[in-house]
Amino acid sequence: MFSEVTHPWPPVCDEHSRILILGTFPSPKSREVGFYYGHPQNIFRQTLAELLNEPIPDRDRASVAAFLLRNRVALWDVIHSCEIDGASDRSIRNPKPNRFRPLIDRTDIAAIFTTGRKATELFTELCAEEAGMEAVYLPSTSPANRASQAKPSFMEQWTRILPYLTDCSAD
C-alpha cells in the first residue's frame, strides 16, 4: 500500500565534509530506528569501516554520525518526499528531490556518491543540474542486494570514495 512520506531528518554533514553519500529514501526500518541505513542487515557501517580501516561504529545515531563526520563523510538521501510502498525503491512515485546546492556551498564536498541504481537514476534526473555535480554510482548496502555484496567488485566499487578522503588527516 502506497503512502506519502516526507524525509524525517536533516543531512549528516559539517563544513569539513569531503564526500556526500546519498541513498534514495529511508526505509521503514530506518524511519523506525530514527537514522539512515537502520536495517540491522544493512552493511553500510561495515562497508565504510572496512574501507577506512576503523572499527565498525555502534548502530546508534550519535555513534554513526560521529564516525561519519570524523571521516569527513556527509550522508543524506536524494528524495525529500514521495509516495512509496514499503521499502521498495521500484515503487517510488511522485518523488520530490532534496536541494543539494546549499549543502555543497557550505561544505568541502568534492564528490557525490549514490548507493544503488535508483538513487543514481533519480539524482541524475532530478538533482544533478541543481547540485552542479554528477553522482558516482556505488552498489547498494541494503539486505536486498546480498548477491552483489558477495562479489569482489562490490568493495572495489566502494574504494572510489577513498581518493577524496585519504588526504583528510593533513588538513
Following DSSP, what letter does each residue of 134-158 receive, concatenated?
-EEEE---SGGGHHHHTSHHHHHHH
Q: List domains and CATH numbers for the chain.
A: 12-166 (3.40.470.10)
Instruction: Return d(Cα 77, Cα 68) in angstroms, integer.
Output: 15
Alpha-helical regions (H) of 22-82:
28-33, 44-52, 61-70
Q: Which three cell numbers stand for residue 26?
A: 529511508
For 99, half-sphere exposure in the C-beta direction (CA atoms, 13 angstrom radius) is 4
List, for residues 125-169, the tens digit of each pLDDT value: 999 999 999 999 999 998 887 777 777 899 999 999 999 997 654
The pTM for the full model equals 0.93
User: Where do we find the cell 562490490?
Assistant: 154
